[in-house]
Amino acid sequence: MGQKRLMKGNEALAEAAIRAGVQGFFGYPITPQSELLEYMSKELPDRGGTFVQAESEIASINMVYGAAGAGARVMTSTSSPGFSLMQEGISYLACTEIPCVIVNVMRGGPGLGTIQPSQGDYFQAVKGGGHGDYQLIVLAPNSVQEMANFAFLGFDLADTYRVPVLILADGALGQMMESIEFPDYVVKEHLTDKSEWATTGRINGREQHILTSLHLQPEEMEMTNKILQRKYREIEAKEVRYETLFTDDADLLIVAYGLSSRVSHKALELARKEGLKVGLLRPQTLYPFPSTVLNNLAEKVKKILVVEMSAGQMVEDVQLAVEGKIPVEFYGRMGGMIPQPDDILDKLRKMNESTLNV
């Protein structure tokens, strides 16, 4: 571990990506992610990588497709409206099994929305987003430290499974400053042998490498899908990441990710001071989702409160996971508004009262 530094989330992620050996960064300015792009433009060319400011997010994601397809470790970053523009390219990346890292520093929507933080892109991030059946591994940091950590993890997971990995942050995590330490990191060459598929030129007359998502015969296209689905089942079995707090004796369980989990943590502390037995489950991977953990917790706790900066998106996955065993309630703010600990506390109090009345 190195020395502690005070950094913005966007910059910490960029620095971590450079330390992870990123060879190319392709991006387009959009608030609240632009510091990531700016940091890359300043640092990456001097540290052995390539920086290109593209003409659009559409171009950015397709530059990623090209360079990653040729075997390079590359990434792009954007915020919500730009993430919408990237969906076509992401679908191609998923189908051709090209590893890369994509960052979405979410802002409020729909439409042009606001530049304030939001979690309104959960569906788009976790349920595919583009056309066809595919998944991204979705990492949800909740601190500047995790913004950095997940950059390293993201590249490793992308290479291990040959999938695009999405780091789903929000405007607050991107903009806020916290002290962080960068872990020692060595690029793990053994994760994947890119020479088996990357378009690097037909050296020594080897077989042609083709990266395509076009399979006109339905039997072939179904087989491509089956290969992807098999991979997703493996990811679901091996890569679920989450954090739990005070779940051992909890009656009420908050489920929240990213910035919402930070606010929920504060609400939990306030609630505990009042004697409310509140616990917290924080998914660090939104896909794969910690469904089994939640299902098991549903045997122990009495009620679940899902807190999101959206109209209620992850709450659907929580409901699916608990299979109706216990009530699942929701508290959310939208459009760039951040939930306040007191408001969550009020909600917890009411849930606790009605639990006692049962």
Site for other proteins, rule CB under 8 A: 23-24, 26, 50, 52, 54-56, 58-60, 62-70, 72, 74, 88-89, 92, 96, 199-205, 208-214
Judge whether 287 and 133 are in contact, CB under 8 Å. Answer: no
Distance, in Å, from the CA atom of 337 to the CA atom of 103, rounded to the nearest integer, reads: 21
- CB 220 → other proteins: shortest distance, Å? 13
- 75 and 25 in contact (C-beta within 8 Å)? yes
CB nearer to other proteins: pick between 44 and 318: 44
Q: Least separation, in Å, of the C-beta of 68 and other proteins?
A: 8
- Strands 252-255, 303-308: parallel, antiparallel or unpaired by DSSP? parallel
Tokens 């059946």 correspond to what residue? 133
CB of 73 to other proteins, least distance (A): 9
Cβ closer to other proteins: 88 or 343? 88
- In angstroms, the CA 21 to CA 105 distance is 21
CA-based torsion, 81, 18, 59, 224: positive or negative: negative
| 23 versus 84: smaller Cβ distance to other proteins | 23
Of 37 and 173, CB closest to other proteins: 37
Q: Give the shortest CB-91-to-other proteins separation in angstroms.
A: 8
**Cβ distance to other proteins smaller for residue 204 or 357:** 204
Residue with smaller CB distance to other proteins, 164 or 171: 164
Smallest gap, in angstroms, from Cβ of residue 59 to other proteins?
4
Q: Residue 139: enclosing H or E segment and its boundaries?
A: strand 137-139
Query: 57 vs 317, which CB is nearer to other proteins?
Result: 57
CA distances from 284 to 139, 146, 172, 233, 266 (A): 6, 9, 17, 18, 18
CB of 182 to other proteins, least distance (A): 24
CB atoms within 10 A of CB 163: 23
SS3 252: strand
Task: List, as own/partner pairs, every contact residues 17-20 make where C-beta atoms lie below 8 angstroms and the sequence separation is at least 24, other chains included.
Answer: 17/75, 17/101, 17/151, 17/155, 18/43, 18/44, 18/47, 18/49, 19/152, 19/182, 19/185, 20/73, 20/151, 20/152, 20/155, 20/185, 20/187
CB 198, min distance to other proteins, A: 8
Cβ at position 19, least distance to other proteins in Å:
18
Decide whether 45 or 183 has the Cβ nearer to other proteins: 45
Asked if 115 and 305 count as a contact pair (C-beta separation under 8 A), the reply is no
Q: Give dist(CA 32, CA 238) in Å, integer.
A: 32
